[in-house]
């Protein structure tokens, strides 16, 4: 997989470059700010852009705004955002876009190499990968409004795993239930949220998140 990396911490950037190379990925470019990221993607679009949220000059949201710009200008380029914190407004805007190939991980998750690489593969293949803490905070905010309150605790568990990008089979394994039980919960969730028409894995997750943000 061809990866462009945007991270202002030289130490972390170089560490990720080495990790990705050791795992067989091609690092197309490694830059330290949002402007350089956009220039690099325009010159040689990668399969995935791994982007730090806070970069120079203000260290606020330059990276995330660059990620959104990439999604707008090069929809074929997947984006995996890394952040120290859950930036709720921008996270919602990013993950409720009408395409797959997006992810949002807290930086603590990068230290768990297997989870980081799994998220990279899922995003690069057009899927979704969202940090459980990001999903928890978005769902917590949405739970204050109906009809999410109509979901049972088990259905909320299933919805949380769906929003993280897990398949029904993966959810069944995590919750130690059968896949058919998960499918029943998913249908119940869509029914209660008025989303029975949603189809396709990534579209399903994004549709649910969009609804929860409404």
Chain region(s) in the chain for CATH 3.40.50.2300: 2-140
Per-position b or e across 132-159, b if 16+ CB within 10 A of its CB: eebbeebbeebeeeeebeebeeebbbbb
Residues of the chain with CATH 1.10.10.10: 153-213
pLDDT average, residue stretch 176-185: 92
Measure the CA–CA gap between 209 and 106, rounded to whole angstroms.
18
* Poorest-pLDDT segment among 37-46, 63-72, 104-113: 104-113
Q: Give me the DSSP letters along 37-80.
A: HHHHHHHS--SEEEEESS-TTTTSSHHHHHHHHHHHH-TTSEEE
98's CB contacts (< 8 A; 6+ apart) are 203, 206
**DSSP notation for 75-101:** TTSEEEEEESS--HHHHHHHHTSSSS-
The whole-number average pLDDT for the span 69-92 is 81
Return the closest-CA partner of residue 141 out of 48, 214, 34.
Answer: 214
Per-residue confidence (pLDDT) for residue 101, from 0 to 100: 85
| Residue 207 pLDDT | 47
Residue pLDDT, tens place only, 129-141:
877 776 666 656 5
174 contacts 161 by C-beta, under 8 angstroms: yes
Reported CATH class of domain 2-140: alpha beta
Q: What is the mean pLDDT of the chain?
A: 81
Fold of 153-213: Arc Repressor Mutant, subunit A (1.10.10)
Neighbours of 127 (CB within 10 A): 20
pLDDT at 147 over 80: no
Residues in the chain: 214
Q: How far apart are CA 134 and CA 48, in angstroms?
A: 20
| C-alpha–C-alpha distance, residues 167 and 32, integer Å | 34
pLDDT at 104: 83
């Amino acid at each position: 997989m061809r990866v462009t990396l945007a991270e202002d911490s030289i130490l972390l950037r170089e560490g990720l470059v080495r990790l990705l190379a050791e795992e067989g990925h091609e690092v197309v470019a490694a830059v330290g700010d949002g402007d350089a990221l956009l220039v690099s993607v325009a010159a040689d679009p990668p399969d995935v852009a791994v982007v730090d949220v806070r970069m120079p000059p203000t260290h606020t949201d330059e990276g995330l705004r660059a990620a959104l710009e990439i999604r707008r200008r090069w929809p074929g380029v997947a984006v995996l955002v890394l952040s120290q914190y859950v930036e709720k407004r921008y996270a919602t805007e990013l993950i409720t876009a009408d395409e797959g190939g997006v992810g949002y991980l807290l930086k603590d998750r990068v230290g768990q190499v297997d989870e980081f690489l799994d998220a990279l593969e899922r995003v690069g293949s057009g899927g979704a990968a969202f940090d459980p803490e990001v999903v928890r905070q978005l769902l917590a905010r949405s739970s204050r409004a109906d009809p999410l309150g109509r979901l049972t605790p088990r259905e909320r568990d299933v919805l949380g795993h769906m929003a993280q990008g897990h398949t029904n089979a993966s959810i069944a394994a995590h919750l130690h239930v059968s896949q058919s039980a998960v499918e029943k919960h998913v249908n119940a969730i869509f029914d209660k949220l008025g989303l029975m028409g949603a189809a396709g894995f990534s579209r399903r997750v994004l549709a649910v998140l969009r609804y929860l943000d409404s």
